[in-house]
Structure 1
Amino acid sequence: MPTSPDVFIKHPEVPVTSIDAISSDTDISRSDSRVSPPDRRPIPPPPPRTRPTSSSSTNAVAQSDVEPCTMVIRPWIDPLVDDDGHDPRSRYVEQFWLGVLGPTATWILRRLVAGLERHPDGYQLDLALTAKTMGLSYTAGRSSPFAKALQRCTMFGLAHQTSDGLAVRRRIPPVAHRHLRRMPPVVQSAHDDWERSSITIDSLSRAHRIALAMLESGDDLAVIEHQLVAVGIDDLTAAEVADNAARL
C-alpha cells in the first residue's frame, strides 16, 4: 500500500504574547481607568499663640493702682429726720439698728457720716482704701463684702444712689416697726421702754453739766453719751444731751 504523502495542514498564525506582556497591559488599563482626586491646597497652620509679657501685666497693675475706684459722698438733706433723728454713733443705733443693718453696714455708715462732718458739702471716697482700712475685701462689682454693706445702707433707706455716688443721711430715723418685729423679744421690749421714757428737767440739767465738764477736759463727742450712761444718766437723756453737744 503506497504511503500517502505527508499532508501538512496550515493553521492560521496566532500571535503569541508573553505573560509579562499581558500583565503589563492589564496594569496600564487599570491605571487609565482610575479617576485622579482633585487637587487640594494645603491648609496653612494656625498662628502661634502669644502670652502677655511680664511688662504688660506690670503696666496693667500699675494703671489700676494709679486709677482707684472712687465715688462721691454727699449729704442727704431731709429736714424732718435731720431734726429728730439719731446720730449714727449713738447708743440707739447700736441697740436697735445694729441688728437690722448688720455690723459691717453700721460701721461703714459711721465712717461716711464722719467724713461729712469734716466735709459738709461732700467728698470723694476711695472704695478700695476704705475697705482695706476696715479689714474688708473689695473687688469691682457687687459681690464683695464692702459693696454688699453699701447696698444694705441703700436698701434700708439710709442712703440713696446719685449719678456719681451716694447721698447719705447724717441722722438716722427711728427703727420701723416692721424691722422691730423681726428682732428678739428683749430688743423689742427695750425699744418700747425707750419710747415710753421721758426726760425730766433735773436729769437734763445734770446731764448737761456733766457733758460740758467732759468736753472741757478734752473728751471726744463720740464717747459723751456712753460716759453719761456710765455715770447713771438714763438712755434717753444721755442721747438728747450728746446730740445737743454735737450740734454746738
Structure 2
Amino acid sequence: MTTGSQVVSLTFDDGPDPNETPKILALLDKYQVKAVFCLVGTQAERHPDLVRQIVEAGHALCNHTWDHDLTIGKKKADQIRADLDRTNAAIRAAVPDAEIPYFRAPGGNFTGRLVSVAYQDRMTSLYWEVDPRDWFHPAGESFEQHVKRIVGDVKKYTRPGSIVLAHDYNQPATTEAFERLMPWLTKNFQLGLPGDPVKPAPSTPVPTEPTPEPSATTPPPGPSPVEPAPEVTPSAAA
C-alpha cells in the first residue's frame, strides 16, 4: 500500500510508550514532519498525556485494536466492533472528539470483515509498503547491528509514495535508527501524512548578467545613434 502520491508517510505502531514516544515526537518536531501513530487501546488508557501530545503536535491517529489481538480478524463483526469502539473510546478519553481516520490490523492481518467494520466506523484501513522488521530481534544481534539493519532496509526499500512501518513501543533501536534516517529521508523525499498534497519544487532563479557601468568607452543606455541616409542622385532610369 502507498500514500497515492509522491509523499512518504512514517507510521509508528503499538504505543504510546513513555520512554520512546516522547523521543520520536521530539525527532519529528525537529524536522517538522507529521506521522501516523497507531495506538493500542491499553497503552492509550495508561498514557493519556502522550495521546494528547501526539494530537497537539498535529500527527494523525490510527486505531490498532485494544490489546494487539493478532486474531481479531477471525472474530464476529460485533466482537470486532466492540474492540475497535473500546479503543477509540480510550483515545477520546484523552482527547475528546479526536479524529481517528485510520485503522491498522495487528501484524497486518487484515480480513474483509475487519476492513468492513473499520470502514463502518469511518476508519480507512492502513497497510504499509516498507517493513524494516524493527520489532524482530534475532539471537546474537547487537544493538548497533539492529540499528544498522533498520537503517539499511528503510534506505533500500523506500521510494516516493511509500508507507513506512515502525514501532515506538519499547523499541530504542527504532528511535536511534530514525535519528540517523531523518536527514536522509528529508533530503530525498517529501514526508507527510497519506493524502497530503505534494509541495511544488522550489523555483530556481534565472541568473542575469550584471548591467555594465557607463565608462568613457561604453555609451550610456538609450537609442543608438542613427547614421544619416546617403543622398540619392536621380538617374536616367528613374
Question: TM-score interval w.r.t. the shorter chain?
Answer: under 0.3
Higher helix share: 1
The TM-score, its normalising length taken from structure 2, stands at 0.23
Ranked by relative contact order (alpha carbons within 8 Å, sequence separation 6 or more), the top structure is 2
The TM-score, its normalising length taken from structure 1, stands at 0.23
